[in-house]
Each structure stands twice: as structure tokens, then as C-alpha cells.
Amino acid sequence: MTARPTAAFLPDGRRLHLNHGPIDLIIEVFGPERESCYGQATRRFETVLTGLVSELPALRTPIMDGHRFTNPIARRMAKAVQPHRDVFVTPMAAVAGAVADEMLEALIADRQVPKAYVNNGGDIAFHLTSGERITAAGPAGPIEIGYDDDTRGLATSGTGGRSHSFGIADAVTVAARTAAEADAAATLIANAIDLPGHPAISRERASDLSPDSDLGDRLVTTSVGRLAGDEVEEALRQGEALACRMRAEGRIREAALSLKGQVRVVASEPETRNAGVLLHA
């Protein structure tokens, strides 16, 4: 008895909630075309999950050269992880962000909308016009993004969410051009924040936790015990190095990394790279 997608307004009467299986979207459109936009989004949502499921086996394995996905969201996912093929990664690393991007596009297609966002469980795609800003919560404090910033996607990854991580980060929030790019990068930076072999870290095979996980028999983190301050710093350094590389290569805009109360920010201005300084605060 497979459930159908559902659509409902949140009690505030402004935001739309779409659900199908593991996908929960909170959508908001500002301006007079809200209702029409919500109609478009709801129609597009009908086939989001079924479309992904049709190519799920290939999405759960690392990209093979020459393989071409037919589903547009699957293509977004593959494109987002493509630059990161030097490490183990499957398109699933970008699934939440890619869904958000696709839904945002359908939401505002052919409409005049000053501002809109699609929040897919914390991975957010947004649309801004001149003078508009958007604020989201992040590990280092509120993240504010303006029209002039070349950023339209935010994503958070870590050990606490629904998906499994190889690393120990409490949270890594990444701002990038698209939510799919942010999602893939956040996943990989969170994976890099690690202390291999540390006795306080428990790991289990991903396949024991979720039999059809794209991570297979690889060990994923199930709990992180007490760590010494310098160990936290060492782990964060690993993630910070990767985030800096990604930023230098233009794959991400900014990142905020947090572990056990310590925070690192990788952003454009070097002077903001101190723990605790808010991104764009």
C-alpha cells in the first residue's frame, strides 16, 4: 500500500508542506503569485520520488564514466558529485539538495517572484531578487545571504541527521551556488572531519543500519564519546583543509564546521575564520 504524495498548508497559511515517503519539503513563496506557484510545485512533486526510485540502483553507486541519467533530479545529483570523484561518493550525497533545486525551479517557473525557498529537511534552495535577503540557522549563528552573493543553496550534514556519515562532525553547513552542490560538499566535508581509530568513536557497517545504503559495508559513525580539545581541533583541521580546497576551486562559497562546541568558518574574509565568528553576522 504505497502512499501518495501529500500537500498541505502549514497552520500559518503561508507555507506549503509536501511529503512523500522520506521527502519533506517546506516551501514558501513571497509575493502575489504564491498560490499559482504552489500549484506548480505540487504538480511537479507528484513524480519526484517515483522518478528518483526509477534510477535508484545507479544513484546508489559511484558514477560510472559514460552513464547517463534520464531523470532530471538524478542528473542534478550526478552533476553535483562529479567534481568530487577523487573520494568515494555516490549521487545520493546530493539527493536532498537536488530535490530542493528541482522543486525551486518548478515552483517559480514563468512567475514573477521576489523571494522563495524550498527547504528539504535543512537542505535549502532559494531564489532572491535584487534587494532581497534570506536568513537561515547555521552552526556558527544565523546565515544571511543577499541577492548579490552568488549563493542559492545551503546544506547541512553531520552525524545527527538521517543519513550516515563516515566522519564525526556535529554539523557542517555549506553555502554554494546550488543546494545540490552544497549538499554534496557538506557530506564530504563532514566525512573528512574524523579521527580514524579513536576509541571513543563507535562505528557500524552502513549496511547493518540500512540494508540498502549506498555506503555498503563501509563503517559509519554511530556515536562519538568524549574527545580531548586538541583531538577536536585535529579533526576539524581535516575538514577545514578540504573546505578551503573546495572554496579555492570554486565548488563552494562558504562553510561552517562544528564539533563538540568548537566551530570553524571557511569564508572569503580570512579575518572571520575564527571560532565563533558568525557568518555574515
Partner 1 sequence: MNKVEKKRPEKVRCDACPVMCYIAEGKAGACDRYANENGRIIRCDPLTILDRRLAKGDEIKPFLAADWDGQQASGNDVTVSAIGAGTTYPDYKPAPFIVSREIEGVNCVTVVTEAIFSYCGVKVKIDTDRHLGRETAVVRAGGEAVGHVMTSEYGSQMLSLGGVDHLTGGSKAEGRSTCDALLRLCNKEAVELTIDGGSSVTVQAGRPPVVDGKAEERMRVGCGSATIGMFASQWKGLVDEVVVVDDHITGVVSEHQAGKVIDWPETGISIEGHRSTPGRYFRVAEPGLGWGGTDIDDPLKILGAWREKKGARPGLSLLMVSTTGEHAGFFVLDETLQPIEHPMPAALEASVELIAKNCEPALCTVLFMGGAGGSLRAGATTNPIELTRSVHAERTRVTLGGAPAYVWPGGGITIMVDVSLLPDGSFGHVPTPALVAPLEFTVSLDEYRELGGHDGALRSLDDVLTSGGEYGSDARILGTGK
Question: Residues interacting with partner 1, by CB under 8 A?
Answer: 1-3, 8, 10-12, 14-15, 17, 19-22, 24, 26, 49-50, 53, 56, 119, 121-122, 135-142, 156, 158-162, 170-171, 202-205, 207-212, 219, 223-226, 258, 260-261, 278
> Is the CB of residue 262 less than 8 Å from the CB of residue 273?
no
Min CB(7)–partner 1 separation in Å:
11
Min CB(205)–partner 1 separation in Å:
6
Looking at the Cβ atoms of 11 and 270, the one nearer to partner 1 is 11
Looking at the Cβ atoms of 170 and 181, the one nearer to partner 1 is 170
Looking at the Cβ atoms of 116 and 248, the one nearer to partner 1 is 116
Looking at the Cβ atoms of 52 and 81, the one nearer to partner 1 is 52
**Strand positions, DSSP E, the chain:** 6-9, 16-20, 23-29, 115-120, 123-128, 133-136, 143-146, 153-157, 171-176, 201-205, 219-224, 254-259, 262-266
CA distance linking residue 148 with residue 19, whole number of Å: 32
Min CB(16)–partner 1 separation in Å:
10
Min CB(228)–partner 1 separation in Å:
13
CA distance linking residue 77 with residue 65, whole number of Å: 15
Min CB(25)–partner 1 separation in Å:
8
Q: Indicate the helix (H) or strand (E) that contains 189.
A: helix 179-192
In DSSP terms, 46 is beta-bridged to: none
> Is the CB of residue 28 less than 8 Å from the CB of residue 14?
yes
Looking at the Cβ atoms of 137 and 228, the one nearer to partner 1 is 137
